[in-house]
Structures are given as structure tokens and as C-alpha cells.
Amino acid sequence: MQKIELKNVTKIFGDNPKKALEMLRQGKNKDEIQAKTGTVVGVHDVSFNVNEGEIVVVMGLSGSGKSTLVRCINRLFEPTAGEILVDGQDVRKLNREQLRQFRRDKFGMVFQNFALFPHRTVVHNVEFGLEIQNSEKAFRREKAEKALEMVGLKGWGEKFPSELSGGMQQRVGLARALALDPDILLMDEAFSALDPLIRRDMQDELIGLQQSMRKTIVFISHDLDEALKLGDRIVLMKDGIVVQIGTPEDILMNPSNEYVAKFVEEVDITKVLTAESIMKKSQDVAYLAADGPRAAMRKMKNNAIASLFVLDKAGKLQGIVFADEVARLMDKGERSLEPAIVRDIATVTPETPASELFAIMQGISHPVAVVDEGHKLKGIIVKGLLMAAIAERGGNI
């Protein structure tokens, strides 16, 4: 379901936006327009959708228009042209009072600058948005304390911002946005001011929170590694326009032009490739209720493989059997595979990055199973397949 729709959004700063807009439509670039009219093109003709529960990272270098764009979504900046729909509502058609209420209901915003009130305690900072909404005191405190617990700051409510580290202060900023329980989080360079280690911790924190919150998040960043780590999709901007939209692997594997190719050329491919993009379909499987040792051995011989994953009737992975153990069962006249099943085996999810697969597969001669949340077998990965996939995409093994 589409939560946000941007249609041909343009933002021009200056006194003569109509003239600049006309020049844009004539194909003039932003430098020519600025020289001629004195206006500055922030973003031009930007169109994309954000699905409910998705993290979309809008990224680019300084001056690319990414921060301008996010401020157009909630009309902190008034767009010059285009449409912005949130849950089907045209944000540009809202009057001042409607817009104020719409922002309260729909948006939470987290900035690079923590913007905490130094004279207020942590919990009072988190309560601030609810206070503006005239919520009851007990309700405010309950929501604020819950939000602080979500970001790992339970018990810190009575401290002042000056008593917290930079990373903790940013957690307070995030908690303040979460306390409002917004549908959409707009995060503008939210972690950019933090030290690298703290920044990575906050990225991990956001990923963990998103697994339970399932908010719709538009995250602004100039850092490609951050975008690749956080984004379900990435919108890459340059000079106010969108140059490519896609999943992290789309951006890395199929750059749309030379600019994108240069932008991503230093990325460690193993951190982006996932088990899902590498796995293949299992050549065959054994079903616990239907296949005995002889049937399993026949499947292994027909496919020239020495092991076989075992599933139950529902398709859930039960374990793996190996040819030598199955042969022993046959010699004993056993009719069930049960005694030969090795149940304590390594599995990975479709989202597991290739960089983690090497460690998991070290010392394992059999394939690794890729399973979904219900533990159903989605595919398998063998070491040769993993190495070939990385080499094919220009990565280092």
C-alpha cells in the first residue's frame, strides 16, 4: 500500500519561481537559471512512492536537494509545483490549520541537530509534542516513558540533556518523535553528527525498532553505507533531480549512469548481497511423513548429491540427512528417516548479508538452508555458489 506519493515535485527558492520553472521546462540547468534569474532550484520534477512500512533513504552529496525534498513532504518548504499525497490526501491543498493538524497526526521528524531543550529533563523533552497537543499529564508521561524504553533509555527520564552523551541525546530526539506515535517518520541526517561507532549503534537501533514498529520512514543521508544498511529502497539525487531509484542491490549491480557507477564503486559488495539474491532452489528434498531411507537415497543418487534437507507436511525444515547415515538405516532395514536426521543445523534468513555467510559456512561441507519466518525452506546456498555470485558482481572473495 502506498503511503506517500510524490508527483513531479519541484521547489525553487527566490523571487521569480515562475520564470525559473519555465526555464526548467525548456531544459535549462540550475546554474543557467540561477545566473539568469537569481533563483535557486532545490529539487526538480521528483516522482516516487513510499510504501507503508518501508524505509526509503533519499541520499546524495551536499546540494543534491535531499533535505529540501523531505521538507516539501510535510510542507515546511512550500513546493513550487507538483503533488504530494499522503494516504491519498493532497498535502498542498490543506489550509494552515488543516496542515498543522495533519502534521501532528501523520509526521514525526528527527533532525541532525538534537534540538533538545537544555532546561527540561529528558522525559519532559520527550513529552513536549504531546504537551503542545494538550494531552493529559498522565497520558503524556505514560507515552514518554514507553518511548524512552523503546530507544533503550529507561530510567534516564529525570536526567538533563547535558548529562547524556551525543548518542543518548539523539535517542531522546527519536523518542520524542515516537511518543507522538506518528504514521510517518521523516529523519533528516539524523545520525550524521554522531561518532562512527555510535552512529552504527543508532542504525542498528533503528533497524531493531522498525522490526516491531513497521513505521513508514523517509531517511535522508549523504552516506552510501548508511543508505545500503537502512534502506529497503534508495532514491539517489544529484543537482536537485533523481538519478536512480532501486533496492540497494539494484543501485550497486545496475547503476543507471556513470555518476551512479562512480558513486558506488568503492562499496563492499558482500555487505549488500543477501542470501535471497544468491540462493538456488534445492534439487530435491525428503518429506518426513512420506519418504523412508530408500526413497531418500534414490533422490540423492538421481541428483548426485550427498545430503538432503528434510521437511514436514507443512514444508517446515526439520533437518538434514547424509547419504552414509541413510545407507546404514537401509542396512538395518529401517523404514523411517527419523534416526538419521541432524536437526541442529545452521540456517539463514533471506536477508542475511553475504559477508555473514562466509563465517556460517566455514567448516560446513553441506549446503546452508535459507528459511523464512515460518521456518519454511526458501532455497539453499553452497559455498561455490556464494563465491561465484560475489566474483560475478566484481567483489573480492
Q: Spell out the long-range contacts of 128-134 with Cβ–Cβ below 8 A and sequence spacing 24 or more.
A: 128/176, 129/104, 129/176, 129/177, 129/179, 129/180, 130/179, 130/180, 132/104, 133/104, 133/180
Amino acid (one-letter) located at 365: S
pLDDT mean over 33-60: 92
> pLDDT value at position 340?
86
| For residues 131-158, average pLDDT | 87
Q: Which domains does the chain have, with CATH numbers?
A: 2-117+183-267 (3.40.50.300), 276-392 (3.10.580.10)
The rounded distance, in Å, linking the Cα atoms of 356 and 358 is 6
Q: What percent of the chain has pLDDT over 70?
A: 95
Q: Which residue type is seen at 362?
A: Q
Residue 33 has pLDDT above 50, yes or no: yes
Q: Give the per-residue pLDDT at 397.
A: 45
The answer to pTM > 0.75 is no
Instruction: Give the other-Cβ count within 10 Å of 208's Cβ.
Output: 13
Residue 243: what are its φ and ψ, rounded to 5°? -100, -20
Q: How confident is the model at residue 90 (pLDDT cuts 50, 70, 90)?
A: very high
**Contact criterion met (CB below 8 Å) for 47 and 10:** no
- Select the more confidently predicted residue: 257 or 361: 257
Tell whether the model's pLDDT for residue 394 goes beyond 60: no
